[in-house]
Structure 1
């Protein structure tokens, strides 16, 4: 895959990307692995979250689609969930606000009655050549959206999760091989990996599993909306496969971790990196 240099305003839109990302719209085939489950997915309007929402719906789960303000993208995700014969609940708002995190969970419980799968996937990043160029408020926002929201979502969801439930955090290859131009983002992704490892131990006696997924470079709106055009053009070339991953290529791992087939997988950090190892 060769993507041209391009740039968007954050948070970006898949509609303006060239080429368009593949979320599995035409390729993902379900087999009932999540039949009857209820899932909350943040950042589900586009990118990895959208691919996971499509896969979960085609595997039999109803889905709450949490997103910031990308209404057209979120509407398309909901359409695809409903096309699969499942319920879609869209909730917009800023996860940097703990009250909104609680509102996302409240809506899920109101609509579904319980939560079987929580995927904390929404993220913010911005590329800066030096640490001094990172504004204080950007540091605070990155931690709030990427890491603190994970804490608030899980805390609110746990009373509504039962034995067999699954918590999945979207970490990153940056969690142990941090990019020097993504210092706040990398720190939060390490935190997510650490939090899930802790939760896997503390929640085991309740029968609730916690894992994280560590993607490498993936072609999502976050890339053209947070990186300079020349980095976008070469994005993904650094991994052994020589290209960025497509969101559809991440979805099967999230399905496994949400499914009953993953019943003994907890405390794991699964790399989906195009051949780049994680420590």
Structure 2
């Protein structure tokens, strides 16, 4: 399926290094970035497939990519990639750490520790090394990094593979925290089952005929995702439309996955004193009625119409659902997040996607209502974010527009943080 965004993203003059790009997700990302105007470096262990992808990119984009054949088991390969890319193009704007391998071996495997060393060398050590080497160049361009992780980092699947991807997720968060002040955004895409991805990572040479049907059975939306779904998301994250997103782990898994769209944005907050509030229960009833009950009722009423159009729902939550902020507000938004997940589970078979956007500090009228001048509000927001910017409602609108589009057809049940890195802000 081709991207529905068309030429929305203009990467002209940008340079992207995409590892593991001789097939599957990496190849799809490299091709799409090139079609949007970027000059790309592609890498892979198989020289023949690398050449084939290079030819396809040149034929479809008019740009001949820099092709570097190699394996991250060789610890000098990361240096070679960065040095050759900078020598060829003179800059770096996007680093996509896609190269990875899997294993299904458990503790009883005879070669367990050898497998451990290999998987962690490629899935964790190599991205860390590349991020370190790329950071000085990305700082100059105010570029960004996308790590391709997996839902195996979030749910038990394989001891070695799952723990390597969990480590990569924390690499994303901690790197975002460290590099945010330099203007570098770092995010992770965590795909679920994608056609051509799983069987290759398990060392199966050719795609089994039953692969696509097996993937469909494991998803809520009864579809088998293709690499293009991940490429669509990567293009959005790399673009300025996502300039407010850093340190986020974005699940794209189809599973935990006339009216077309329902956006539950209405909500109220309170600066309550917690259990010491005199009117605690009255405030509880008011906040939960608007933030939670209304959202549930609207979803219930909208379902028959959304089922006809295969539409989708976006709940506007908050990072207050993920970190303690206010007894009533935070708990109401935590409820909204679980409504998102459970609604996605229930409505997926009907073809309805449900996702949540969790904003951090945004410049809205709430600051005016608190008696603050615009410059005071901006100063307050900047204290709590990693990136040197003040986010406005348009940042959330950009993300919402992406989520309701067919470019996000593989995303359901996801809690997507758009907080300018505030959750990763150093405590001191």
The DSSP-based 3-state class of the residue aligned with 1:115 is coil
Matched residue SS, 1:185: helix
CA contact (8 A) 1:40 1:115 kept: yes
Contact 1:219 1:245 in 2 (8 A): yes
**1:19-42 alpha-carbon deviations (Å, 9 max, x no partner):** xxx7x5x98843442121100000
How far apart are residue 95 of structure 1 and its match? 1.0
1:175 paired to 2:166: no
User: Does residue 67 of structure 1 match 2:44?
Assistant: yes
Task: Summarize the alignment of residues 163-242 of structure 1 with structure 2, pairs less than 5 Å apart.
Answer: 163-179=141-157, 182-220=158-196, 222-224=198-200, 226=202, 232=211, 234-242=214-222
Match of 1:88 among 65, 73, 80: 65
Shift of 1:96: 2.2
Determine if contact 1:212/1:270 at 8 Å carries over to the other structure.
yes
Count of residue pairs the alignment pairs up: 252
Between the aligned partners of 2:209 and 2:240, the Cα distance in structure 1 is 43
- Which structure is larger by alpha-carbon Rg, 1 or 2? 2
**Structure 1: gaps spanning 5 or more residues:** 1-21
The whole-number CA distance in structure 2 between the counterparts of 1:261 and 1:243 is: 27
Q: CA deviation at 1:217?
A: 0.3
CA distance in 2, matches of 1:214, 1:221: 13
Quick one: structure 1 residues 127 and 148, their matched pair in 2 at CA, closer, same or farther if it must change by over 3 Å?
same
1:59-98 Cα offsets, whole Å, 9 max, x none, are 1101100111x22221121112212022301111111222
**1:271 is the counterpart of 2:251:** yes
The question of whether the paired residues in 1 share the 8 Å contact of 2:250 and 2:414 is answered with no
SS in structure 1 opposite 2:67? strand
Per the TM alignment, residue 241 of structure 1 is displaced from its structure 2 partner at its CA by 2.0
Deviations 1:249-268 (A, max 9, x none): 11111001111222111111
Measure how far apart 1:143 and its partner are: 0.2
The verdict on how the C-alpha distance between 1:224 and 1:208 changes in structure 2, with shifts beyond 3 A counting, is closer
RMSD value over aligned CA atoms? 2.3
| Other structure's SS at 2:169 match | helix
User: Any conservation in 2 of the 1:39–1:62 contact (CA below 8 Å)?
Assistant: yes
Runs of 5+ unmatched residues, structure 2: 257-412, 416-428
Task: State the partner residue of 1:142.
Answer: 119
Deviation string 1:80-125 (CA, Å, 9 cap, x unpaired) is 2212022301111111222111111111111111110000001111
1:45-60 correspondence runs (5 A): 45-60=22-37
Higher helix share: 2
1:6-31 deviation per Cα after TM superposition (whole angstroms, max 9, x unaligned): xxxxxxxxxxxxxxxx7x5x988434
Q: Which has the higher contact order (CA 8 A, sep 6+)?
A: 1
Give TM-score, length-normalised by structure 1: 0.83
Give the equivalent residue in structure 1 for 2:234: 254
Structure 2 contact 91–141 (Cα < 8 Å) conserved? no
SS of alignment partner, residue 210 of structure 1: strand
Q: 1:200, CA displacement in angstroms?
A: 1.0
**Deviation at 1:157?**
1.1
SS at match of 1:132: coil
Work out the CA distance in 1 between the residues paired with 2:102 and 2:77: 20
The runs of at least 4 consecutive aligned structure 1 residues that moved more than 6 Å come to 227-231
2:136 paired with 1:156: no
